[in-house]
Structure 1
């Protein structure tokens, strides 16, 4: 026997005694309320000062900021999709108070008004979360990840290519002058030699003019005439282009033509599966309790050279220095150890071969018994002793500066006589007596780092690091789907990653509320 189906009432023309309130349609624990509450407490006076006034009314920056942050929290990064949500999504309508800025207004606010202003807003939110006990500014966990730029993957400029092109023009100028010298071979007076260094468009143009003047009235080969005509027309412009590209490159080795701020890097997301370089930025983040405390963007591929600037940015942002910092071996350099020591920061930072050392110590295997680290050193006499007990005296120093200008000092020690030594083949392969170079300051700093890493606190910090920064990057790239920037240019990209970082933090607050 079939039962009668009862349908729920469906009447699109049904009237309500009172119109519904948007507030009644948003749950009390919804993330949009967290965004609204926290951003209501933020001081935006510096942002408000950027508005000139006059003309038509403007949307308040607090409204636009709330819309953007909540959009990023909901994985909406396109200004057109945000505009659509303001018409269709009840949470956006409630948050904006019914305001409906178009996509141009949203885009201009994000890439224009927020530029160079958002970092201070982000810092205010972090301080507020610290006061509420969500995070601590005393213990930081640092790591980096590369995010692809909004740029063409195949329009690149290489510093080596610029150098090669300059050298080619210089070489051709010399070849043209060699032709002039051949023409004047039978004459006593040779015209003054011009400048060949291709560094300035005016100088290149003047050199070409000088060669033309020297050949005026002479029987000149047709191909040489064509080359001089081409050089006069094209080479000054090419040098100007190379100069402009070099200025944008700075100390980098590459850049993208469509986003000059982006550097070509090797990404984990490799769509061609061939290790292809793609334009991107190196995001450096310091976290605590999986909240992003600070972020900086680097235009270099290696993490090593980014740490000092990142820590100084933390100090400037919060007017305090963290007590400890934990990072992987990518940051373990003498320069970084020294900087952290100078700032009195406990550096739980690994160095290369740290894990290898621990593994060999556990297995009680020594695969490099003749390594300089294994040689006995007498600090009082500044002398090393080789495996046969022969003294290796100090014979000099070698100095080297890093890319950041940090001076490294290598002390050199040489054995007096390795001839006939039964261990020579195992000890070293070089001709003559064995010479070793030692960086005493680095040795001291590594010993200090090792003691910290193997301490009870160090082991706890190393275990925690695995689920601190890596989890944050995983959330940003996988859960939030943010793997490629929408904007172009370093200053705009910094604003965009700041919005991502704030959205991540406020989402974490919602999960823990």
Structure 2
């Protein structure tokens, strides 16, 4: 027996007596309501002051901010796609109140008005979440990840290349002057020797001019004339270019021409999947309960030199220091340990070889019995003892500066007599008596760090760090699909990262309150 098929009513042209309310079409437990509620409660008066009066009306910054944050929460980073969603997506229409700013307005707000202002907005939201008990500013977990910049990887500048180019110009100037000396070999009076240093365009130009004047009334080889003409035309402007590039580089070793603020780094994940050096930024994040409480951007490849500036940013934002800080071995340095101690922060920060020490201790195998760390030290007499029991006496100290300018002091100790020692071949390879260098300040910090890390509280913090910061980075890169910056310039990228961080936090808040 065949039954008649019944279809659901479908009248596309049917009019309603009353138009539906957008509010009725948005569920009460939707993330867009979280974005609206949180951002509605923050103060944006400082942002409103950036607008000049007069002229046509402007979209309120709070509307544009809500649109941007919700867009990032929905993995929409293109201003054109955001513009499209404002006409097609009911949640965007509800959030914006029907406002439809175009992509230029959205992009100008993101890279213009929000620049240098978004940190204050982000901090207000973090303090609000702290008051509501979702996170704590007392215990933070710090780590870094590299993000690929929106820059061409083939347009690069290396500090070493600039140095080599300068050296090459100086060498060629000296060679030209040597030719002058050959020309004047039979004459008693030789022109004054010019300055060969390729420091600025004016000096290079003056040196070339002096060489030209010396050869003005002489018979000059055609190749030398050609080289001098080329030098006069190109070398001064090349040196000017090198000076400008060096100014943009600062203390960095590399940069991209399309985004001079980006430094070349090796990425674990990149959009081309080939593991090459690419321009990028080092994102530093502090988290608690998987909420990002503070973020900063660094232009260095190593995490070691970023911690102090990151902490100072935290203090400036919240006018307080955390009680504890947990980080991996990438942050374990004398300078960082000292800074944390000065700020009275209990540090659970690993150092190099911490895990290796634990593995060796468990296996009861010592693979480096002659390492300076294994030698006995008598603190009262300031003497080390070699594996044969012979004293190694203090012979002086040396100091060295790190890339950040931190001064490190190393004490030097030398063995009394290594001649004829049966262990010499495996103890050391130097020709004379063995010399070791010890940084007692760093050794003391490492000893303190080891005690904390192996304590019950330290083990808890170490275990928690794995699912704190790394889980946040995983969410940003995989779930939010944010692996490459959209904007260029460190100020604009910092705003963009802030939007990503806030979107992560509000989505986390939605999941916890759902």
Secondary structure of the equivalent of 1:23? helix
- State the TM-score, normalizing by the size of structure 1: 0.99
Q: CA RMSD, aligned part only? A: 1.0
Q: Corresponding residue for 1:325?
A: 325
C-alpha distance in structure 2 between counterparts of 1:438 and 1:318, whole Å: 38
Q: Corresponding residue for 1:22?
A: 22
Q: Deviations over 1:150-194 (max 9, x none)?
A: 001111000000000111111111111111111111111111111
Q: 1:86-105 counterparts in 2 under 5 A?
A: 86-105=86-105
Corresponding position: 1:487 with 2:479: no
Q: 1:249-264 counterparts in 2 under 5 A?
A: 249-264=249-264
| Deviation (angstroms), 1:270 | 5.0
Q: Deviations over 1:370-394 (max 9, x none)?
A: 2211111111111111222211111
C-alpha distance in structure 2 between counterparts of 1:428 and 1:187, whole Å: 59
C-alpha distance in structure 2 between counterparts of 1:399 and 1:221, whole Å: 52
C-alpha distance in structure 2 between counterparts of 1:393 and 1:212, whole Å: 62
C-alpha distance in structure 2 between counterparts of 1:440 and 1:127, whole Å: 40
- Which shows bigger deviation, 35-44 or 382-391? 382-391
Q: Corresponding residue for 2:369?
A: 369
Q: Deviations over 1:275-311 (max 9, x none)?
A: 3100100100010000001110010111111111111
Secondary structure of the equivalent of 1:468? helix
C-alpha distance in structure 2 between counterparts of 1:413 and 1:49, whole Å: 64
Corresponding position: 1:213 with 2:242: no
Secondary structure of the equivalent of 1:66? helix
C-alpha distance in structure 2 between counterparts of 1:273 and 1:129, whole Å: 37
Q: Corresponding residue for 2:123?
A: 123
Q: Corresponding residue for 2:164?
A: 164
C-alpha distance in structure 2 between counterparts of 1:331 and 1:358, whole Å: 19
**Inter-CA distance 268–193: structure 2 relative to 1 (3 Å threshold):** same
- Which shows bigger deviation, 232-241 or 9-18? 9-18
- Which shows bigger deviation, 372-381 or 143-152? 372-381
Q: Corresponding residue for 1:301?
A: 301
Secondary structure of the equivalent of 1:396? strand
| Deviation (angstroms), 1:274 | 5.2
**Inter-CA distance 59–252: structure 2 relative to 1 (3 Å threshold):** same
Q: Corresponding residue for 1:407?
A: 407
Secondary structure of the equivalent of 2:261? coil
| Deviation (angstroms), 1:424 | 2.0
Contact 2:142/2:286 (8 A) holds in 1: yes
**Inter-CA distance 270–89: structure 2 relative to 1 (3 Å threshold):** closer
- Which shows bigger deviation, 185-194 or 446-455? 185-194
Q: Deviations over 1:108-157 (max 9, x none)?
A: 00000000000011000000001111110011111111010000111100
| Deviation (angstroms), 1:429 | 2.2
C-alpha distance in structure 1 between counterparts of 2:95 and 2:499, whole Å: 17
Secondary structure of the equivalent of 1:467? helix
- Which shows bigger deviation, 385-394 or 223-232? 385-394
4+ residue segments displaced more than 6 Å = none
Corresponding position: 1:222 with 2:222: yes
For structure 1, the 5+ residue unaligned runs are none
How many residues are paired up? 513
- Which shows bigger deviation, 195-204 or 365-374? 365-374
Secondary structure of the equivalent of 1:33? helix
Q: Corresponding residue for 2:141?
A: 141
Q: Deviations over 1:10-51 (max 9, x none)?
A: 112222121111111111111101000100111111111111
Secondary structure of the equivalent of 1:125? helix
C-alpha distance in structure 2 between counterparts of 1:159 and 1:301, whole Å: 15
